[in-house]
Structure 1
Amino acid sequence: MNSNPLVSIVLASYNMGHYLPESVRTVLAQTYENIEVVIIDDGSTDDTEEQIKPLLADSRLRYIKQENQGQPKAKNNGIKACKGEYIAFCDGDDLWAPNKLEVQLPLFKDDPDVGVVYSEVSYIDDKGKPLDKEQPYERFSGKVTDKLILKNFIPFGTAIVKKQCFDEMGMFDEALPMGIDWDLWLRFSTRYKIMYTPAKTYIYRIWPGQMSSNYRGRYHHAELIMNKFISNNPGVLSQKTINRAWSDTYNSKGMAIAQAEQTIKEPLSNIATALRHDIKYIPAWKSLVKILIRRTR
C-alpha cells in the first residue's frame, strides 16, 4: 500500500441542496488530506448547484451535473471519474467523522487481500439532532460471504473500497433500483476480505420519506439479488447456507408485512415458505407462534 494514497470520495446526489453542502464540508475536513471529492448531481431540480458553487474554490472538489439517471448510474459515473487508489462514498444528506479515513485506511496496510473496510455508524434526525438507535446487525470481518448472504451488515456509506475491486469485478448493477450495495459486497466478498472497525465514522441521517421505508420493494429486490448471486457463483455457498438464507429472507419479509400492514394471511404464507427452506430455522418458528397468537385475539 502506498503510504499516502489518493482517496476519491463520490457523492451522488438528487435534490439534496439543503443538506449537501454540510455533507461535502465534513468530507473535505478529513484529517487525512490526500483526497479528491467527486459530486455527481443526478439531474437535481432544486438549488443544489447554487448551494455547491461557494465550495468549488477548493481544488479537491469536482462537480458534475448529469440528466437524472438514478442512483446506480450516478454512482458508477462517479467511480469512472475517480483517480484515487481507494474509493469511498457519502450520501448527500449524511456526514463523515473527521477521522474517518485516518481510522479506516490502515486496515488495508498489512493484507493485500483486503478489498473493503467498513465501520460503525451513528444517527441523526433531519434537523441534525443525535438519535439513540441500536445497531440492527452483528458485524463480521474476513471472508464473509456465508454471513453476508444472510444479512447485508455493511452500512454502505462507511465503506472504503480498493479501486482494484471495481476494475476486476464491476461496478453497481444499474438494473437494480434497490439493494445495489448488497449486490456489490456479495460479489467482492468472493475474492476479497472485508474488514470491520467499530469506530463510528459515518453519521446517517434519518428523515421522513426515505426509500429505506419501502419494505416490499426491499424484499423483492433482495430475492432478485440472491437468485442472481447464487446462479452466478455455483459452489461458493453450501446448500445448507443457501437454505438458511432463503428461510431468513422469507421470515423477515413475513414479519415486516405483518407489522406494517397488520395482516396475517400473507405473513403466514411467507413464514411457511421460510420453514420449507429450513425446517430447523428457530426464528421462523417463533414468528409463526407470534402470528398465530395475533390471529386468536
Structure 2
Amino acid sequence: MPNSFPAAQGAVVTPRLAVVIPARNRRGSLPRTLASVLSDPRPDIELVVVDDGSEDDTEAYLASLADPRLAWRRLPVPSGANRARNEGAALTSAPLIAFLDSDDAFCPGRIERLIAFFDANPDVACTIDGFMDVADRRQRLHRLPDPTPDAERLRRLLLCHCVPLTNSTVTVRRSAFASIGGYDDGLYRHQDREFLVRLGRQHRIAFGKAVDVLKYREANSMSRSHAGYIAGLSDFVARCEDYQTQDYATILSYLTLRGILKALAQGSFGVALAEIMAWRRASNLPGGFGVVTGYFAGRRQRRQLEQSLAQAATTSAE
C-alpha cells in the first residue's frame, strides 16, 4: 500500500491510523466489522483485511467493495490469525496500527480518540482498552483501571490472566510493533497476551479509559471454543520464562485445569477428554495430583489479584 492515497476530493492524504483485520470464513460478520471502520468519514484511515484462506464467500465479498481506504489480500492456505495480522500490518504505512477481529466492531469515535491519545502521549507505545462482551443476547462491560499498573505489575497481571483482553482493543505504534517482530505467527492461542508481555519488556503500555469495542462471541468464535486450549497454553508457557519460577506454580496449575473444567461445565465432554489427553502430552505444563491442590491455591491467588485490580476498575453485567 502506498504511503499516501487520493481522498475523494482528489487531495493526497497521509494515513494517520491503520486498522488490520484477519479473517477466515467470516462472510457473515465482515459487513458489520468493516462498516464500523468505514463509517468513519476520516480520509486518513487505512483498512486492510487479510483473508486467511477462507472457504466461504469472503474473497468475493471483499472484491465487491470499492472504498479507496480499503485494501485486502488473500493467503492461499490458512496460516493463522497472527500471520494474517503481520501480513496486514506490512501492507500499511500509518504510524499507528489498530487490530480488529473479523467478528468484532469499533464504536463510533474510537479512531478519532485513538489518534488524539497517541498525539498527546508520545511516550506511550501501545494501548489496551476496555470492551463490551456481547454473547447470547447478554452484555458484559469490561473496564480497565486508571492509572495503568507499573511495567512489572502489568506483566504479572497479564501472565496470571487478570487483565480482560481481546486483540480488538490493541493499538500500537508501528515502530514498536516492528521492533519486536510483530505477533508470534507460531502461536495459535493467547496471541494478544504473549504479544503484550513481549512488547512490555521494551515499551510503555497504557490502559485506555474508554470502552469503545464490541466483542461478539459467536458460535464459531475462537474465544468460545475450549478445543486446543491446552496445546496453546503449553506453547505460551514455553515462550515465557516467568512460568518456570515458583511464583507462578499455583497459577499455572489453575490455568492448566481451567479450560478442561469449563469444557466439562458446558457439557463438551468430547472436547474435555481431548484436552485431558493433550495435557498428558504437554511438556510445559504441571502434571500429577498436585495440580488439583495447586488449582485451588492458584484460583485464590488470581482472585486476589483481580480484586486488587477491581479497586480501580469495574466489570459489570448488563
Q: TM-score, normalization: structure 1?
A: 0.76
- Kindly state the Cα deviation for residue 60 of structure 1 after the two structures are TM-superposed: 1.1
CA apart distance, 1:99: 0.7
1:250–1:270 contact (8 Å) kept in structure 2: no
Note closer, same or farther for the CA distance 1:196–1:5 as it changes in structure 2 (3 Å cut). farther
1:82-106 superposed Cα distances (whole Å, 9 cap, x missing partner): 1110111122222111211222333
Name whichever of 153-162 and 251-260 sits farther off: 251-260
Superposed CA deviations along residues 39-71 of structure 1, whole A, max 9, x for unmatched, are: 111222222233233422x21111212212222
User: In structure 2, how many angstroms separate the alpha carbons of the residues matched to 1:195 and 1:88?
Assistant: 14
- Which one of the candidate residues 18, 37, 61 is aligned to 1:51? 61
- Whether 1:273 and 2:273 are equivalent positions in the alignment is no
Kindly tell me: are residues 271 and 153 of structure 1, through their superposed partners in 2, closer, same or farther at Cα, counting changes over 3 Å?
farther
1:220 aligns with 2:231: yes
Describe the SS at the equivalent of 1:177: coil
Aligned mate of 2:132, from 119, 122, 131: 122
Q: Provide, for residues 23-46 of structure 1, a one-character-per-residue CA deviation record: whole Å limited to 9, x for no partner.
A: 112111236542111111122222
Given the superposition, is the C-alpha separation of residues 254 and 55 from structure 1 closer, same or farther in structure 2, using an over 3 Å criterion?
closer
TM-score (norm 2): 0.72
The structural deviation recorded for 1:207 is: 1.6
Q: Which residues in structure 2 correspond to 1:62-73 (within 5 Å)?
A: 62-68=71-77, 69-73=79-83
Distance (whole Å) between structure 2 residues aligned to residue 45 and residue 224 of structure 1: 27
Alignment match, 1:98: 108
d(CA) in 1 for partners of 2:70 and 2:174?
19
1:192-271 paired onto structure 2 within 5 Å: 192-230=203-241, 239=245, 241-243=247-249, 245-250=251-256, 252-253=258-259, 255-260=261-266
Change (3 A) 1:107 1:272: farther
Q: In structure 1, how many angstroms separate the alpha carbons of the residues matched to 2:208 and 2:23?
A: 27
CA separation of 1:113 and 1:66: change in aligned 2, threshold 3 A = same
Partners of 2:289 and 2:227 lie apart in 1 by 15
What letter matches 2:258 in structure 1? S
Cα drift, residue 197 of structure 1: 2.3
The equivalent position to 2:86 in structure 1, one of 71, 76, 88, is 76
Corresponding residue SS for 2:256: helix
Q: Are residues 1:8 and 2:8 paired?
A: no
Runs of 4+ in 1 over 6 A off after TM superposition: 136-140
Matched, 1:282 2:300: yes
Task: Kindly indicate whether residue 28 of structure 2 is the aligned counterpart of residue 22 of structure 1.
Answer: no
Aligned pair partner of 1:177 in 164, 173, 188:
188
- Provide closer, same or farther for how the CA distance between residues 103 and 136 of structure 1 changes in structure 2, counting only shifts above 3 A: closer
Distance change in 2, residues 1:92/1:280 (3 Å) = closer
Shift, 1:171, TM fit: 1.6
Change (3 A) 1:282 1:43: closer
> Is there any run of 5+ residues in structure 2 with no aligned partner, and where?
1-13, 280-286, 304-318
Judged with a 3 Å threshold, the aligned counterparts in structure 2 of structure 1 residues 95 and 244 are, in CA distance, closer, same or farther, namely same
Whether the aligned pair in 2 keeps the contact of 1:104 and 1:197 (CA below 8 Å) is no
1:224 aligned counterpart, secondary structure: helix
> In the alignment, is the contact (CA less than 8 A) between 2:126 and 2:206 conserved in 1?
yes
Residue 112 (structure 2) pairs with residue 141 (structure 1): no
Amino acid at match of 1:24: L
Instruction: Give identity over the alignment, percent.
Output: 20
Q: How many residues align?
A: 271
C-alpha displacement of 1:187: 0.4
Q: Which SS does the other structure have where 1:114 is aligned?
A: coil
Contact 2:143 2:211 in 1 (8 A): no
Is the Cα–Cα contact under 8 Å of residues 251 and 301 in structure 2 kept in the other structure? no
Give the CA RMSD over aligned residues.
Answer: 3.5
Give me the whole-angstrom Cα distance separating, in 1, the residues matched to 2:147 and 2:257: 22
